[in-house]
Amino acid sequence: MSATNYLLLVCLVMTVATFITRLIPFVAFREKGDHPLLLYLGRYMPPAIMTLLVLYSLKSLDLTQAPYGVNELLALLLTTPLHLWRGNALLSIFSGTLFYMAAIQLGWFV
Amino acid sequence: MSTLAAAFRASVPVLFGYVPLGMAFGILFQDLGYAWYYAPLMGLTVYAGAAQFMAVGLLAAQASLVEVAISTFILNSRHMFFGVSLLGRYRARGLKKLYLIFGLTDETYSLITSTHPPDGHDEQNYYLALTALNQGYWVAGCALGALFGAGVEFDTRGMDFALTALFMVLMLEQWKKLREPYPFAIALLCGLAALWLFREQMLLVSIGLSIALLLLRTRTRQVAS
């Protein structure tokens, strides 16, 4: 098999496998979207998943080594109160991100 | 403001997260020696960040297709849980619905469940615009990385923190809407436990565990009343 054919087959297999993981619930629970338990999960899963995604996005942090996650902590300590105060998502996100980029690129807390 | 403009405004943080991440993928992919355009092709078809990074390793190792299928399925199996909470939201039909399901990444799920279209705009079109814009950012990042590789002058280090900040802000938005500590508290506990015990499959384990605890709560409530 040529290298390009192999790549295209890998691409196809990955596309199908990924799509299936996303499709399964929509097929499995077709016509059951208004079941009380599913409505309940529709209400309570998003806050739980948002919390988990925050943790997941920080999973490669090593708190036992310098700079002990201080860049991430300070950037979130900027984003969170700013968002609770002004409620402007773009302002909160960009302030935190710019601070973080400056902190790691200029090595403020190395 | 048009529906597309509203979706663009909501998704700008994803733009700043996906472009540098897609570029990182493109740069790695380019080292495999394939033509540059296969990187954006993967972004267009596979469209899963972690899986595409894994693909670079699998391609380099000439992994068998069965191995590719199984490892992709396991890595992305957390997506199964996302759909469960979207059944009531995705009311589009046919190809539109299939595209919404196809494009369901962590970030798209977050924007769809935590932001709203402006009054009077169709929700389904807003969801479609969010999904397509996010995929556009990702494909553009893959292409830029594979085309220009390490030659990019602008230092993007730390830019993908936009996604962490986005998740944080959307979590706060969920809190403003719900004002009930339970789902946040159990997610925090399950998340920390999963990070400690199952770092590689952290999301799958912690989402599964959180759902189990959420369901357990309805049970105990029913018994109590």
Which residues from chain B sit within 8 angstroms of residue A22, using beta carbons?
76, 79-80, 82-83, 101-102, 104
Q: Which has the closest alpha carbon to B24: B71, B56, B46, B72?
A: B56
Q: Which has the closest alpha carbon to B164: A89, A85, A109, A97?
A: A97
For residues B125 and B36, state if they share a domain. yes
d(CA A70, CA B43): 33
For residues B32 and B108, state if they share a domain. yes
Where is the domain boundary, B163, B193, B217?
B163
The single residue listed with the structure tokens 């936009």 is B162
A78 touching B, CB under 8 A?
Answer: no
Q: Å from A97 to nearest chain B CA?
A: 5
For residues B213 and B122, state if they share a domain. no
Nearest C-alpha in B relative to A10:
B65
For residues B117 and B185, state if they share a domain. no
**What is the value of ipTM here, to two decimals?**
0.94
Q: Each residue of A35-93: pLDDT tens digit?
A: 899 999 999 999 999 999 999 999 988 888 889 999 999 999 999 999 999 999 999 99
For residues B96 and B188, state if they share a domain. no
Residue B79 lies in a domain: yes
Residue B171 lies in a domain: no
The string over B54-74, giving b where at least 16 C-beta atoms fall within 10 Å of a residue's C-beta and e elsewhere, is bbbebbeeebeeeebbebbbe
CB contact under 8 A, A96 and B16: no
Q: Which has the closest alpha carbon to A89: A77, A79, A98?
A: A79
- Find the domain containing B71 and state its range: 3-163
pLDDT at B51: 95
Contact A64, B152 (CB under 8 A): no
In this structure, how many other beta carbons lie within 10 angstroms of the beta carbon of residue A47?
25
Residues 6 or more apart whose Cβ sits within 8 Å of residue B56: B25, B28, B29, B31, B32
CB contact under 8 A, B55 and A20: no
For residues B148 and B209, state if they share a domain. no
Residue B40 lies in a domain: yes
Residue B173 lies in a domain: no
Q: What is the pLDDT along chain B (225 residues), one digit of tens a residue?
A: 799 999 999 999 999 999 999 999 999 999 999 999 999 999 999 999 999 999 999 999 999 999 999 999 999 999 999 999 999 889 888 999 999 999 999 999 999 999 999 999 999 999 999 999 999 999 999 999 999 876 777 788 999 999 999 999 999 999 999 999 999 999 999 999 999 998 888 999 999 999 999 999 988 777 776
Q: Tokens for B56, please give them.
A: 């670079």
Torsion of CA B170, B172, B175, B176, to 10 degrees: -100
CA angle B186, B189, B193 (to 5 degrees): 140
For residues B158 and B82, state if they share a domain. yes
pLDDT at A6: 96
Which of A3, A22, A32 lies nearest to residue B104, judging by beta carbons? A22
For residues B210 and B141, state if they share a domain. no
| Tally of domains within chain B | 2
pLDDT of residue A31 exceeding 90, the answer is: no
For CA atoms B136, B141, B144, B147, the dihedral sign is negative
For residues B44 and B110, state if they share a domain. yes
For residues B109 and B195, state if they share a domain. no
For residues B206 and B159, state if they share a domain. no
